[in-house]
Amino acid sequence: MNVQQVLAQFVSTGKETVFHNRHIKPQIYADLNGSNWRLKDYEARGGYQALRKVLGLDGGAGLTQDQVIATVKESSLRGRGGAGFPTGLKWSFMPRQFPGQKYLVCNSDEGEPGTCKDREILQFNPHIVIEGMIIAAYAMGISVGYNYIHGEIFQTYQRFEEALEEARAAGLLGNNILGSNFTFQLHAAHGFGAYICGEETGLLESLEGKKGQPRFKPPFPASFGLYGKPTTINNTETFAAVPWIIRNGGQAYVECGKPNNGGTKIYSVSGDVEWPGNFEVPMGTSFAQLLELAGGVRKGRQLKAVIPGGSSSPVLPASIMMDCTMDYDAIAKAGSMLGSGAVIVLDDSRCMVKSLQRLSYFYMHESCGQCTPCREGTGWLSRVVDRIETGHGRSSDLELLNSVAENIQGRTICALGDAAAMPVRAMLKHFMPEFEYHVAHKTCMVPAYV
């Protein structure tokens, strides 16, 4: 075997993580098999019909910009990247009459630990993102867009480039799309290993060819974005939801989920479950059911805790999680956030100090260094958790951790500071006895830790 053949043996087929038939009413992952990602396959699944409907090429009158935005508002689609901001409302902030260039950006810089859904959308259904972006560009009167893709998934970036070429060749991108007077150019860009570029203004800086240090807001990207021009940024999964909404209507999308939490959502379930993977289910599905789709807690162990929305979201103990439904409002009410929909499951063999140790190291490593509370504070958090874990903790350390976290949260330009502080505070809040035990006994309270 040559080198390429050796490496090819280990490429994921998606069989375990997407093509497992354990989705519930999927829209984005529906009818995929790993090889049917090309334009002709997407069209056979009804792809680009939404675009034809918008442009009036399906025998109908077409949709105006206002009608598209109104439909997305009605759908109650909320941003799938982490913040959960209403997408239609965001689109309405775009100054459509602005005379100069405007930009549309897709945030595919999926680096929030636990999250691996956008990679599989782009790998196995890239045209759904392209179609969603074309419709968004139409609605906001934008002629140029970029999809900024996580550098670590370079193969997926190459796949997306291939899909773009197909779309251009078919007249779906470029000048006068499908013979209409609408023009939209879309390009792919990639990161190269900086978590911070998932933050939208850090991403814009990176797209401008700089280090990805976030910008102070306001001004918001809608008025001062890429190259200082009005810019709308949405997550990959958000764009991927749009074609279904246009085809079936906003109300139908709400009915897929629950009020204020429309549609389906892809949850990336990782950690201590039998079958880690991505599961597309209606918003409002119970956590218990999602856990069951992932095969339950592995090896018959008991559920201890769940980090429900990516590593930045506050951890919740099993008792709270088992009563939760998976939607923005329910998880917020329970004291955490749905974030990117990355569900990290921890079983009863896990030491929470050790788990936090790894997360705190991550935030220290990825702090961009721009704001003092984050640059210094993430180092403090990491070092203090580390010494507790390694048996050198002091009794004053627990108070110190809370104090440092308080001095970071809300005091930085972007949310990375909050993302570093929130897991610390939540771990202490829910699992204080484990931290106290570690300090007092210089060892772990959870004997079965593997």
Partner 1 sequence: MISEESKARFAKEVAKYPADQKQSAVMACLTIVQQELGYVSAESEQLVADYLGMAPIAVHEVTSFYNMYNQQPVGKYKLNVCTNLPCQLRDGGKAMAHLKDKLGVDNNQTTADGLFTLQQCECLGACADSPVMLVNDTSMCSFMSNDKLDQLIDGLRAAEVKS
Decide whether 9 or 395 has the Cβ nearer to partner 1. Answer: 9
Q: Is residue 304 a contact residue for partner 1 (CB under 8 A)?
A: no
Residues 13-32 that bind partner 1 (CB under 8 A): 16-17
Q: Is residue 150 a contact residue for partner 1 (CB under 8 A)?
A: yes
Q: Is residue 113 a contact residue for partner 1 (CB under 8 A)?
A: yes
Looking at 12, 36, 180, 223, which residue binds partner 1 (CB under 8 A)?
A: 12
Decide whether 153 or 413 has the Cβ nearer to partner 1. Answer: 153
* Minimum CB–partner distance for residue 193 and partner 1 (Å): 3
Q: How far apart are CA 427 and CA 139, in angstroms?
A: 43
* Minimum CB–partner distance for residue 362 and partner 1 (Å): 6
Decide whether 40 or 187 has the Cβ nearer to partner 1. Answer: 187
Q: How far apart are CA 166 and CA 152, in angstroms?
A: 24
Decide whether 77 or 345 has the Cβ nearer to partner 1. Answer: 345
Between the CA atoms of 332, 334, 336 and 337, what dihedral angle is there, to the nearest 10 degrees? -30
Residues 402-441 that bind partner 1 (CB under 8 A): none
Strands 325-326 and 231-235: unpaired
Of 94, 368, 91, residue with least CA distance to 211: 368
Decide whether 68 or 422 has the Cβ nearer to partner 1. Answer: 422
Long-range contacts of 181-184 (CB under 8 A, 24+ apart): 182/55, 182/138, 183/143, 184/133, 184/134, 184/137, 184/138, 184/142, 184/143, 184/144, 184/145
Tokens of 192: 């190269």
Q: How far apart are CA 155 and CA 123, in angstroms?
A: 8
Looking at 51, 163, 167, 207, which residue binds partner 1 (CB under 8 A)?
A: 207
With CB under 8 A, what is the number of residues at the site for partner 1?
A: 68
Q: Is residue 299 a contact residue for partner 1 (CB under 8 A)?
A: no
Q: How far apart are CA 383 and CA 385, in angstroms?
A: 6
Q: How far apart are CA 116 and CA 124, in angstroms?
A: 13
Residue 273 near residue 291 (C-beta atoms within 8 A): yes
Tokens of 178: 């499908």
Judged by CB under 8 A, the stretch of 104-112, 134-142, 385-393, 409-417 that binds partner 1 is 104-112
Q: Provide the 8-state DSSP code for 298.
A: G
Residue 295 near residue 273 (C-beta atoms within 8 A): yes
Q: Is residue 125 a contact residue for partner 1 (CB under 8 A)?
A: no
Residues 327-346 that bind partner 1 (CB under 8 A): 342, 344-346
Residues 358-397 that bind partner 1 (CB under 8 A): 358-359, 362, 365-366, 368
Q: How far apart are CA 262 and CA 348, in angstroms?
A: 34
Q: Is residue 236 a contact residue for partner 1 (CB under 8 A)?
A: no
Looking at 53, 102, 350, 438, which residue binds partner 1 (CB under 8 A)?
A: 350
Decide whether 253 or 435 has the Cβ nearer to partner 1. Answer: 435
* DSSP string across 404-415: HHHHHTT-SSST
Decide whether 85 or 192 has the Cβ nearer to partner 1. Answer: 192
Would you call 282 helix, strand, or coil by DSSP? strand
* Minimum CB–partner distance for residue 101 and partner 1 (Å): 8
Which residues of the shown chain bind partner 1 in the complex (CB under 8 A)? 1-3, 5-7, 9-12, 16-17, 101, 110-116, 118-119, 146, 150-155, 187-195, 206-212, 227, 268-272, 276-278, 307, 311, 342, 344-346, 350, 355, 358-359, 362, 365-366, 368
